[in-house]
Amino acid sequence: MNIRRVRYDHPDAVRLTEQVQQEYVERYGGPDETPMDAAHFDPPRGLFILAYSDDGEPVATGGWRAREGSAEGFRDGDAEIKRMYVVPRARGRGIARRILAALEESAAAAGRLRMVLETGQRQPEALALYTSCGYGPVTKFGVYRCEPLSVCLGRPLPAARGAGEPLQARSRAH
């Protein structure tokens, strides 16, 4: 497994984003309409990563973007997780946990205070992952904050230990 930093508009990221959007259509009847821009994920105010299998195929994505206090319910210092996705054939191998850990480390290194995410009740796998990683309910935020199927979770980030080093070391090791 190789985890690489890429731009949100990288061709492999676009391909997997299209796949996750199709999964949202199947589960909810439509794609995620949250406004997104590749620049949202540019360091130091964000990060987007892809996990590649040993044969070089992209198998997972994840990103975070900096958010500040807003009428949409974000708080100053938030890092919002977006586009966490593992292709079906690669699920159940701990890849999502590795992506999540890399995102948390990067956000903490960038001085973010809290990781937050929005998922839905029709994604029990995501709810189980985040709950098992210490995420709990937070005040709803974002585009879907008034939707009954929306679930918003978060957790405080630890103090930073060094910008980017854990992600780079882990990427080389896998």
Domain ranges, ordered by start, for the chain:
2-161
Mean pLDDT of 71-88: 95
Look up the CATH number of domain 2-161: 3.40.630.30
Q: Any long-range contacts for 80-84 (C-beta under 8 Å, 24+ apart)?
A: 80/115, 80/116, 80/117, 80/118, 80/142, 81/115, 81/116, 81/117, 82/34, 82/36, 82/41, 82/117, 83/8, 83/13, 83/16, 83/17, 83/20, 83/48, 84/117, 84/126
The proportion of the chain whose per-residue pLDDT surpasses 70, expressed as a percent, equals 91
- pLDDT confidence band for 164 (50 / 70 / 90): very low
pLDDT one-digit tens code per residue, 2-45: 999 999 999 999 999 999 999 999 999 999 999 999 999 999 99
Position 85 pLDDT exceeds 60: yes
Task: Specify the pTM.
Answer: 0.88
- pLDDT confidence band for 131 (50 / 70 / 90): very high
The whole-number pLDDT of residue 159 equals 76
Residue 66: enclosing H or E segment and its boundaries? Answer: strand 58-67
